[in-house]
Amino acid sequence: MASNDVENLLSYFNYDLLDKPTIFNGVKSAYMLSGTKLHFGKEMIIEEEQSAMEASINV
């Protein structure tokens, strides 16, 4: 992703990525800001799946 694209994306989220949980997917991994809390409804994902997903994301 070009640096100006990153800047536009961060600007879109008003640099508030902790209150607006965001996961960036890369070629080899996924990334999110350290301290981000993901909240899924129980109807969307079970706790074990959420734990596995979070473990695979680099913070």
Asked if pLDDT for residue 51 goes beyond 80, the answer is yes
Torsions phi, psi for 38 (to 5 deg):
-95, 135
pTM of the model: 0.54
For position 44, what pLDDT does the model report?
82
For position 47, what pLDDT does the model report?
82
SS percent in the chain: helix, strand, coil, step 5? 30, 10, 60
Question: Greater confidence, 21 or 51?
Answer: 51
Over residues 4-44, the pLDDT tens digits come to 887 787 788 777 777 777 788 888 888 887 777 777 777 78
